[in-house]
Structure 1
């Protein structure tokens, strides 16, 4: 089966879950490629596992002859279809003109991709997010006359619902990564709930073969944060929580990731006198992150609701930490409690609650054996529901059903 996966940006260090699926499709014997709407991100870190994907990913320039030529051809050969598309885009984005303009800008690309799919014999198109990738997938699929589907993660269904119901109605199926998202989508008027399929994101099975956390805490309690340094990640609350830890507790923290708030967070740590205990390491490839987990006692994922209601889905970093058998402190937000069940598979705190994060860290430090037992149950849950090889196989099987 030939599969085209549509994403907004490529490569992007934070979207390993999408790229690992494509790698797994190829392991299953499918011919899978990536189309990215925006220009190639030069200078972005490319994880070792996805180096082969780079040569197989492609896009078209916004003003390229391929994109504009296809638009002109569509205007001649399919004027009614083009007219309907333009009308829908404008109508559905009346309250979101900036987003609507973005769709109009990539419309020629989506049309061109549709014709490319037709020429190349692509069997199925999958938009990896419910926003622009799903829109581009829908347009391309209509041009090519083939089925499409899309994934619903978190921000992509919360920030905007423009065209969302129509995309779902036309899709062969809609993959949701959490029951939380399914409940959210069920509330949307006209949404075809019978098309929803729960297929988790996941980590590679090899992570589950790694040694667990240290058997005891010798020396400082080693705390780890991995993720973007942006508002919805809530890293400032983690730093405040670290500042509130009792003076007698010996600890160090590593913050791996980059983003708009990097300088602000570093300044916060300095102002609180934590510059010698918190190490900001910037963005790192997946392989370096895996090694960081091997030398960690506790991972903290302090997610909050960001601007425009932006939220996490179920962060892959939670799965990675639990796969290593590391105790996880995470926010009770979105689909996170489906994996991190308080006192069972991890430690849950309310968003923006630095005090609760601090108390959870102290609880882990005071009862390491109990924390390790909880983390082991978390590891078992990852093994049963969040393995990328298993879940990519489920997604590929759903796609295969559309072309039988």
Structure 2
């Protein structure tokens, strides 16, 4: 590691998180490129497992008060320390303006966490960098004002589509203490955010890509008969993933088809989905694995025939960006069935690299039945997706672009 590089404080919502391998992959790569990092997490971990990738990160991890009342002395000390600086009152003015438009406990907590972050960051910290444009970016923005520092942010999916435009706009304006740069992982999201920025160049399209060194080579042979098909899905059991529609679709598959569906991931809707599968009398054909680490996910991908991710736009506007799990499936030459939501078509062209279906149960059932009956088509689609991944969606180009942005921010 190049010790002379300026230190970067990285603000994340939680660390580690099984569902956010793309963040861990990026931070490990930045560390390998010589960036001294310090992780500041707004929440304590809730996952019982962790990926091997998390253990590769050398940066120290510090946890801010998850709830202010749990550490009142720490918060009070930070506030008192800041009150003697003019920057505290500038930050307070920005925060109070936000509070009037978002009168919530979360908004109060953001400022308290920012005060602790600003008070406890080492003096040699050069800049701040947040993952997610909503809460982590707010804490980062307030802390940057408190310490008269530059900051940048990566925006992904939920944070873009469920945040109000006024807040996104102000985080992208120089006159309102906005970010030096914003990196986002889809062209779909970048176009939206450029329309809110004072300077479109402030927004950079940087795909996460995949570090193939973390994955085994794809299986040399896959099953080419149609006697039995194994469907696999990986994703949290939340509305935007569309697994409720997938369960309904599974019940519509032909009685003659010998199928099994395996699901990996946690999420709050699990009990309801299990109950619905029992009502539909398909529960004995489903395996609920719960949260799994990366080696377990890859092993399941290598043993499956079709990867299904029926993403959709949730009622609150939340949606996927470009789920990394699709690239992970492609890395193992696993045939992909998904939907044309958000940036998924940026990776998968339907009929070429996979199938993009409507998320209605009847449409999903039809697509699954078709793929089950044509194993040669599955192999061809999987081969094309692997080529698409290796030609256009590897990690290195994006990390190089991000490295350039971070160097420019920390050297100024």
Mark yes or no: TM-score above 0.5: yes
Instruction: Kindly tell me the number of residue pairs found equivalent between the two proteins.
Output: 396
Instruction: Give the counterpart of 2:27 among 13, 18, 22.
Output: 22
Q: Which residue of 2 aligns with 1:168?
A: 172
- Structure 2 gaps of 5+ residues are none
Q: Which residue of 2 aligns with 1:36?
A: 41
Instruction: Give the counterpart of 2:151 among 148, 166, 189.
Output: 148
Instruction: Say which is worse superposed, 87-96 or 232-241, in terms of deviation.
Output: 87-96
Q: Which residue of 1 aligns with 2:389?
A: 382
Q: Which runs of 4+ in 1 moved over 4 A?
A: 52-55
The CA deviation at 1:307 is 3.6
Give me the whole-angstrom Cα distance separating, in 2, the residues matched to 1:350 and 1:368.
Answer: 21
The CA deviation at 1:218 is 6.2
Give me the whole-angstrom Cα distance separating, in 1, the residues matched to 2:364 and 2:336.
Answer: 11
- Structure 1 gaps of 5+ residues are none
3-state DSSP class of the match of 1:273? coil
Aligned counterparts, 1:4-403, within 5 A: 4-38=9-43, 40-42=44-46, 44-53=48-57, 56-61=60-65, 62=68, 63-78=71-86, 81-98=87-104, 101-119=105-123, 121-161=124-164, 162-169=166-173, 170-188=178-196, 191-206=198-213, 207=215, 209-211=217-219, 214-217=222-225, 219-351=227-359, 353-403=360-410
Give me the whole-angstrom Cα distance separating, in 2, the residues matched to 1:398 and 1:324.
Answer: 32
3-state DSSP class of the match of 2:300? helix
Give me the whole-angstrom Cα distance separating, in 2, the residues matched to 1:163 and 1:5.
Answer: 21
The CA deviation at 1:399 is 0.5
Q: Is the 8 A contact 2:91 2:145 kept in 1?
A: no
Give me the whole-angstrom Cα distance separating, in 1, the residues matched to 2:266 and 2:347.
Answer: 25
Q: Which deviations, in whole Å up to 9, do the C-alpha atoms of 1:159-197 show, x marking residues without a partner?
A: 113532222222221101101001222333x54322111
Q: Which deviations, in whole Å up to 9, do the C-alpha atoms of 1:223-247 show, x marking residues without a partner?
A: 0011101111110111111111111
Q: Which deviations, in whole Å up to 9, do the C-alpha atoms of 1:42-77 show, x marking residues without a partner?
A: 553211221254972112323354432121122122
In structure 2, the CA distance between the partners of 1:156 and 1:12, relative to structure 1 (3 Å rule), is same
The CA deviation at 1:393 is 3.3
3-state DSSP class of the match of 1:30? coil
